[in-house]
Amino acid sequence: EAGVAQSPRYKIIEKRQSVAFWCNPISGHATLYWYQQILGQGPKLLIQFQNNGVVDDSQLPKDRFSAERLKGVDSTLKIQPAKLEDSAVYLCASTQVRGQGETQYFGPGTRLLVL
Amino acid sequence: QKEVEQDPGPLSVPEGAIVSLNCTYSNSAFQYFMWYRQYSRKGPELLMYTYSSGNKEDGRFTAQVDKSSKYISLFIRDSQPSDSATYLCAMSVYNNNDMRFGAGTRLTVKP
């Protein structure tokens, strides 16, 4: 079974520029999550999708971050404009259903550095 | 006070040692408790999953949850160099919904 795919793996941009990350979850997984992991911290949930609908985006900085999941499969996360404090690893995860005991499978992450 | 507290370490032990990793939390509504292992430049992978209080054992790993003390632990027996990683505790009120992670403890097992 193929895992969660993310691209790019690394990105370096200047502050105020825009950047987009892509995630392809495990086939058949209905729920998709985007996390932000700042160096030395645990992942923080940014947004959760169930199929192509948003379940929770309460921690997403909506003035600069946006995310979409077209057709309930792939997802993109965008930052516009980026700030220095956005430097982090952006992790995508997916689960089959939102049920008891379902495991969240994480991708390798996209490492973003904002200069 | 952070919602989930975890000593970041680093923790260094010799091969074969018993490792104890811990987290405390403040939200008494948490019901689901997880431990994830994260290797360098990789995403976290689920190690242990516990619902409510009690112990759970899987091979060399044992997870304990004490809801009365708001304290969870992960024990690793006969630690191996391949166990060297960052261990993250995570918890949530509802399963797979808005998980809150600790900062992670970096563990090194020396041969």
What does the pLDDT look like over B1-41, one tens digit per residue?
Answer: 789 999 888 999 999 999 999 999 999 999 999 999 999 99
How confident is the model at residue A98, as a pLDDT? Answer: 58
Do the Cβ atoms of B43 and A109 come within 8 Å? yes
B98 pLDDT above the threshold of 90: no
d(CA A4, CA A7): 10
CB B107 within 8 A of CB B13: yes
Check: CB of residue A39 under 8 Å from CB of residue A53. no
Does residue A45 sit at the B interface (CB-CB below 8 Å)?
yes
Determine the Cα angle at B94 with ends B90 and B97, to 5°.
65
Q: What is the pLDDT of residue A72?
A: 83
Beta bridge partners of B90: B34, B101
B48 → chain A, closest CA residue: A103
Interchain contact, B103 vs A41, CB within 8 Å: yes
Closest chain A residue by Cα to residue B104? A42
User: What is the pLDDT at residue A71?
Assistant: 85
Q: What are the residue ranges in chain A where pLDDT is below 50?
A: none
Q: Which residues pair with B73 in a beta bridge?
A: B22, B64
